[in-house]
Amino acid sequence: MEPEATTMVTGDEVQKQQEGSQLPSLRESIDKHESLSSKGDNEPNSVSECEIHWEELQLREQIGQGSYAIVYHGIWNGSDVAAKVYFGNGYTEETLQDYRKEIDIMKRLRHPNVLLFMGAVYSPERLAIVTELLPRGSLFKNLHRNNQTLDIRRRLRMALDVAKGMNYLHHRNPPIVHRDLKSSNLLVDKNWTVKVGDFGLSRLKDATLLNTKSGRGTPQWMAPEVLRNEPSNEKSDVFSFGVILWELMTHSIPWKNLNSLQVVGVVGFVDRRLDLPDDLDPYVASIINDCWRSDPEQRPSFEELIQRTLFLVNRVTAVSIRRIAES
């Protein structure tokens, strides 16, 4: 079973929280916060610039669920899309803020390894974010739920895709820190390209370190400083990448025998790490261990991780070509 964020809430609970708190005008509330977009960005600030009308969307089967929304396969203007529909129909100010922040981040991103934002629904009855649909689903599903084994070259290429997408985010101005990087937030297209998605917990990094005391996220992939509720920066995403690389190499679910609170204690306060297999390539092991350094400043950047992962991909490719030539 895929680990969910620690603040998992049912639809009924959300509705109870929202009773009596129906906002006078969803559009007024959203427009009031248009200034969330970074200064100097020439792109439109208003959510209305990317509006999709609810009646234009046709929802098909459910393809995912998180702590505050359900993701559906949808049809919009004749095209397949993914529609993340927020729970309930009376939205709290906190929900609206998360919604605006995610749109504000996603609408400015254009990269082959980042999920493409297509538009947003913000009717008084519904909030939804519409993105491209990636048919193979999440990396988590491809690693742990499908009865298939991905060859080492494909798995390394997937790691390289993640590093490229994250390097793009970290080089935005200001940098974007994902804060919830995990295999279930990485989507796989029909050509096995991996794209970074789900920016619900992401934040724009300013001059100060990010304060991460929201208590949300999935501990199995999170950096120790985040688990301790300490301020963090983009190097917390690097730690998470190390967990994803471990996952790709082992086909195992991280800390699957521990609950979330136990993971917080073991990783955040005892400073333990996942066990590396004895037969793991030493070069891969060195990358993972560097990502897992206790001091965030000693962890590599994604720029460096691209080069190190690319070296592995090229080495595996060369070995494959040599074997074909010799056969």
**All domains in the chain, ordered by first residue:** 11-132 (3.30.200.20), 139-321 (1.10.510.10)
Look at residue 183 and tell me whether its pLDDT is greater than 70.
yes
Q: What is the DSSP letter of 264?
A: I
Q: Judge whether 219 and 267 are in contact, CB under 8 Å.
A: yes
Per the residue annotation, which of 180, 271, 275, 290 is the catalytic one? Answer: 180
Average pLDDT over residues 69-89: 90
Residues β-bridged to residue 120: 51, 129
- From CA 162, how far away is CA 56, in angstroms rounded? 32
**Number of Cβ atoms within 10 Å of the Cβ of 326:** 6
Output the six-digit token pair for 33: 């916060």
Edge-first strand order for the sheet with 79-86 is: 57-65, 69-76, 79-86, 127-132, 117-122
Q: Judge whether 166 and 30 are in contact, CB under 8 Å.
A: no
pTM over 0.75: yes
Max Cα–Cα distance, the chain, nearest Å: 73
- From CA 227, how far away is CA 253, in angstroms rounded? 19
Q: Which residue has better confidence, 110 or 96? A: 110
Output the six-digit token pair for 162: 């993640």
In this prediction, residue 19 carries a pLDDT of 38
Which three-class secondary structure state does DSSP give residue 204?
strand
Look at residue 318 and tell me whether its pLDDT is greater than 50.
yes
Is 281 part of the annotated catalytic residue set? Answer: no
- From CA 194, how far away is CA 309, in angstroms rounded? 15
Residue reference for tokens 């790709």 = 248
Q: Exposed e or buried b for every residue in 117-154, given b needs 16+ CB within 10 A?
A: bbbbbbeeebbbbbbbbbebbbbbbbbbeeeeebebee
Q: Which residue has better confidence, 204 or 53? A: 53
Closest by CA position to 83, among listed 72, 91, 93: 72
Look at residue 14 and tell me whether its pLDDT is greater than 90.
no
In this prediction, residue 57 carries a pLDDT of 94
Q: What is the DSSP letter of 124?
A: S
Residue 91 backbone dihedrals phi, psi, to 5 degrees: -105, 135
Query: CB under 8 Å, gap of 24 or more: what pairs does 16-21 form?
Result: 17/92, 18/88, 18/90, 18/91, 18/92, 19/90, 21/90, 21/92
Look at residue 236 and tell me whether its pLDDT is greater than 90.
yes
Output the six-digit token pair for 288: 């993972």
| Cis before 174 (ω within 30) | yes
Which of 155-164, 239-248, 315-324 is least confident? 315-324
Look at residue 264 and tell me whether its pLDDT is greater than 80.
yes
In this prediction, residue 28 carries a pLDDT of 54
- From CA 208, how far away is CA 2, in angstroms rounded? 33
Q: Is 84 a known ligand-binding residue?
A: yes
In this prediction, residue 17 carries a pLDDT of 35
Residue 285's H or E segment, with its range, is helix 282-291
- From CA 300, how far away is CA 57, in angstroms rounded? 42
Mean pLDDT of the chain: 83
Average pLDDT over residues 111-123: 93
Q: What is the DSSP letter of 211?
A: P
The residue type of 148 is Q
- From CA 119, how far away is CA 170, in angstroms rounded? 23
**Crossing angle for the helix pair 152-170 and 235-250, to the nearest 10 degrees:** 170
Q: Judge whether 69 and 10 are in contact, CB under 8 Å.
A: no
